[in-house]
Amino acid sequence: MAANRGKIITGYAKMWPRAVFEMKEKNKYPSEIKALLQSPGVYVLYRDDLPYYIGKTTRLWRRIRAHAIRPRDRYYNFWNYFSAFVVPEKRHLDEIEGVLIASMPTENSAVRRIPRIHIPTAIAKRLFARRYQGYEQ
């Protein structure tokens, strides 16, 4: 555990298929998959390759599985892949979730909690003029 000291994110699963929640052996999920996602973290549900929903939880496996197997779940019908980021310290969950929401717009229009910094208009105009300097319109 000492190797992870000071790290905000200690592991991730990228674009795993929803089907991992359908794999059961003797009425149990494969322990090696379940064990990887027992920690707190932030997750992204994808519709094909487009982010649909971003969420945070104290137990990744349990929360993502709920989205996958409960037909009454709000997002049940809308995703087929997921990514998960293990964030051992719960105090960082809001920040990581906020960064993901700000960096990838979702189809369900998640509300950004981090204020966006816009480039000042005067700078944008100067950059535009510099880029097209020498081009006749």
Domain boundaries along the sequence of the chain: 2-131
pLDDT (0 to 100) of residue 69: 92
| Amino acid symbol at 88 | P
Give CA–CA dist 26/110, Å, rounded: 38
Q: Say what the pTM is.
A: 0.76
Residues of the chain with pLDDT under 70: 1-5, 25-30, 108-114, 134-137
Give CA–CA dist 55/86, Å, rounded: 12
CATH for 2-131 is 3.40.1440.10
* pLDDT per position as a tens digit, 19-47: 888 877 666 666 777 787 889 999 999 99
pLDDT (0 to 100) of residue 1: 46
DSSP output for 93-121: HHHHHHHHHHHS--TT-PPP-SPPPPPPH
Give CA–CA dist 58/55, Å, rounded: 11
Give CA–CA dist 80/17, Å, rounded: 6
Look up tokens 């920040």; give the residue.
Answer: 95
pLDDT (0 to 100) of residue 58: 95
